[in-house]
Amino acid sequence: MKKSFLLIFLFLIVFQSCVVFQATKVPSNNLKGSLVSAVSKSPKIVFLGDSITHGRVSYDYVESIRKHPKLNDALVVNEGINSRLTVQIIEQLDSVVSLQPDFVFILIGTNDLKATLSKKEYDRYASLWNLKDPASEESFVQNLTKIVTRIKKETKAKLILFSPPILGEDPNSLPFLRSKRFAELTKEVSKKENVLYKPLHETLTSRLSSINFHKKTPYIQNTWSMYWTILKYYSTTYSWNDLGDANGYYYLTDAIHLNERGGQIIEKMILETLITP
Dihedral angle, C-alpha 19, 176, 172, 238, nearest 10 °: -30
Tell me if 225 is assigned to some domain.
no
- φ, ψ at 49 (rounded to 5°): 175, -160
**Domain total in the chain:** 1
* Spatial separation of the C-alpha atoms in residues 203 and 191, rounded to whole Å: 18
User: Does the residue 243 lie in any domain?
Assistant: no
**Looking at the predicted structure, is the pLDDT value of residue 276 above 80?**
no
Which helix or strand (DSSP H or E) is residue 241 part of? helix 240-247
In a domain, 63, yes or no: yes
Rounded to two decimals, what is the model's pTM? 0.92
What mean pLDDT is predicted for residues 187-192? Answer: 98
Residue 186 has pLDDT above 70, yes or no: yes
- Is residue 64 in a domain? yes
Residue 11, pLDDT score: 47
Q: Which domain holds residue 137?
A: 27-211+261-274
CATH of the domain at 140: 3.40.50.1110
Indicate whether 137 belongs to any domain: yes
Nearest to 176 by CA among 210, 202, 197, 142: 202
pLDDT tier for residue 28 given thresholds of 50, 70 and 90: confident
- Reported confidence tier of residue 16, pLDDT bands at 50, 70, 90: low
Q: Which amino acid is at 11?
A: F
Residue 67 inside a domain? The answer is: yes
Q: For residue 203, is it within any domain?
A: yes
Q: Is residue 160 part of a domain?
A: yes
Mean pLDDT of 99-108: 97
